[in-house]
Structure 1
Amino acid sequence: MKGTSVILDQYKGRAAAAFIEDGKLSDFLIDPADQTIPVPGAVFRAVCDRPLKGQGGMMVRLPNATGFLREGRGLAPGQPILVQVTGYAEEGKAVPVTAKVLFKSRYAIVTPNAPGLNISRAIRDEDKRDELLEIAHSVMEESEYGLILRSICETADADEIAEDIATMLGDAEGVLSAEGTEPELLLDGPNSHLLAWRDWPTPDSITDEQGGFATHEVDDMIEQALVPFVRLSGGASMYVEPTRALVAVDVNTGGDTSPAAGMKANIAAVRDLPRQLRTRGLGGQITLDLAPMAKKDRQTFESILRAAFKHDSVDTTLAGWTPLGHFELQRKRERLPLAEGM
């Protein structure tokens, strides 16, 4: 089945969204089972608790959790501060937060701490950029906050863009004008349906009727994403297995015994790796135990790896090779692991 489609439905009693591309599950989002945990994008009034000496960070108190603010210099214990959740907390660890609060939607991002009107660099048509600046000025003319218009604005309706800017501006003004000194949730983060609308590209079709997952066989695709084994082209395979410390990816050549078997298996693995990590909700440290290949092929492999992650929606850093010949990645933990969410 060619093309792209978005399926919005319930899974295990919770809101979930699936992005299907050419008949494969390309992305999957699901609300956490515990509705009380802070979700990425949520804005809190936090209270500074204690500084972490030597790290420059600050532990902060949230309504029902503890947060870790990496940029904590200049803050004092007991001081209230606005923070935004940047990812899910690992078990037994504090919730990661930032003081650089953003109000992000499908078309607009309002930036209270960074004034100025900016258009995505991906929009290169000067006439379109001028048109978008006019829309931005018409809505933001009396505001001192900054604004970023996202690349999807290039093909969007002007009224929808203006409405989106106004909504985000209203959220920002409401949060920043809130009074109080105790920890409080000021703006909840997006659920899976809203996050899909905000961040996914426009699909060829959208299905939001009840039972859509069963109709489009999404349930079966989710079950496949819960299994470590992944079949690759040419008889190769890989295992994607999360542990407490890291995500281990083991690449195997299968029955191919040709001299180029290792390189072919590794290329097939990394081309599919971003999709596998997205659908499984995996992040943190990722270690690739690759099939044997010559050191002279490493540069080519890295180029293909870099290209595979170039358009991935989750920030991923290519850390490099270890002395044992493994390749390491560092990926932002902004998804709830699928297996944990089940």
Structure 2
Amino acid sequence: MTTIALDHLAGREAAALLVGGRLEDLLIDSHTPRPGTIYRAIADRPVKGQGGMFLRSPDGSAFLRQVKGLAPGQSLLVQVTGHAEPGKAFPVTARVLFKSRYAIVTPDAPGLNISRAIKDEKERLRLHEIAHEEMGEGAMGLILRSACEGAADEAIAEDIRAMRDLAQVVLADADGRSPEKLVEGDGPHGLAWRDWPEPGELVEVAGSFATLGVLDALDALRGPEVRLSGGAVAYVEPTRALVAVDVNTGTDTSPAAGLKANLALARELPRQLRLRGLGGQIALDLAPMPKKDRRVFEDALRAAFRRDEIETVLAGWTPLGNYELQRKRARAPLAEVLA
């Protein structure tokens, strides 16, 4: 059974997703600007050689990549895309989106689109009719998300109207000479409603994290050790430069022990990175296995990350036999949030 628990940790809003009693996802509010927050920012200074620019916002310095035709002092709308490392500017994009459970309004990308996950043609036709009725022939685009499948017409239409109207208000306030926060990004409770599946049980009672075992899971996540199936063990240790993951076979001394341990790590790694809020460069020091088994490991890793929503690039093997990944810093590290 799927359970969503809405609670607080150290006074911060938090949400937990449990499947069969096992913690699968965790969201905790942090002191940094929330992803999804929209600002009217002011261009400050370009970064030579990187094609980016630092911007001034009411919450500190932001960094925008791939800048063209933007001059210092110019105002523009930007949206926070992730969390920054301590002491660094937070990342933003100029392609703002207005996202809810059913609808995503895209001011810079016109057209009506429906999630590819919805295959039924009758359902797609129903959703297209709702989208066309609510958006009309306007210049803004719309994406209907997979959660729309089977949802009531009015619920979808109401979501579209809310995002459309919000987009119109924000776009009308884009010009100005001073930086300003125009939209606050969703907190953990809002994100749980927006992005997680419909739960079999929704628990909103204070202290639910303790009764459901979430606090026990958090205690385990504070340490580097990760117990894997078959007796293998991994250690996930963030450093200033990267996240190091070491895999050991444990007590298994069979010829296939290395491959089994590495496959167990592949299946568990997305969950561990998600719960720990880790991103950036990730290096896997895998258990010894023959080179002929690398393809099997790669296939297992690719399948595991295909089900994970946070953007992750599987970079490949290093000359020393380690495997590298690059993951978007979509969340604040758990160690920082709980410090």
Tell me which interval the TM-score lies in, with the shorter structure as reference length.
over 0.9
Q: Secondary structure at the match of 1:46?
A: strand
Residues 93-112 of structure 1 deviation map (CA, whole Å, 9 limit, x = unaligned): 11101000000111100000
Partner of 1:54: 49
Q: CA deviation at 1:54?
A: 2.0
Q: Secondary structure at the match of 1:155?
A: coil
Residues 17-46 of structure 1 deviation map (CA, whole Å, 9 limit, x = unaligned): 0000122110000111x2xx3211000001
Distance in 2 (alpha carbons) for counterparts of 1:124 and 1:24: 30
Distance in 1 (alpha carbons) for counterparts of 2:261 and 2:49: 44
Pick from 184, 194, 208: which aligns with 1:188? 184
Pick from 290, 299, 305: which aligns with 2:301? 305
Please tell me whether the aligned partners of residues 277 and 334 of structure 2 are also in contact (alpha carbons under 8 angstroms): yes
> Does 2:335 align with 1:333?
no
Q: CA deviation at 1:340?
A: 0.5
Identity of aligned residues (%): 63
Please tell me whether the aligned partners of residues 314 and 334 of structure 1 are also in contact (alpha carbons under 8 angstroms): yes
Q: CA deviation at 1:224?
A: 1.2
Please tell me whether the aligned partners of residues 40 and 76 of structure 2 are also in contact (alpha carbons under 8 angstroms): yes
Residues 42-79 of structure 1 deviation map (CA, whole Å, 9 limit, x = unaligned): 00001111112222111111113111110211111110
Partner of 1:117: 112
Distance in 1 (alpha carbons) for counterparts of 2:122 and 2:35: 35
> Does 2:83 align with 1:88?
yes
- Matching residue's letter, 1:115: P
Q: Which runs of 5+ in 1 are unaligned?
A: none
Which 4+ runs in 1 deviate beyond 2 A?
Answer: none
Counting only pairs closer than 5 Å after superposition, residues 180-329 of structure 1 correspond to structure 2 as: 180-329=176-325
Distance in 1 (alpha carbons) for counterparts of 2:200 and 2:168: 35
Matched residues, number:
337
Q: CA deviation at 1:142?
A: 5.3
Q: Which runs of 5+ in 2 are unaligned?
A: none
Counting only pairs closer than 5 Å after superposition, residues 122-133 of structure 1 correspond to structure 2 as: 122-133=117-128
Q: CA deviation at 1:155?
A: 2.0
Q: Secondary structure at the match of 2:296?
A: helix
TM-score (norm 2): 0.97
Partner of 2:172: 177
Cα RMSD of the aligned pairs, angstroms, is 1.0
Partner of 2:99: 104
Q: Secondary structure at the match of 1:313?
A: coil
Q: Secondary structure at the match of 2:241?
A: coil
- Matching residue's letter, 1:150: R
Partner of 1:7: 5
TM-score (norm 1): 0.97
Please tell me whether the aligned partners of residues 71 and 98 of structure 1 are also in contact (alpha carbons under 8 angstroms): no
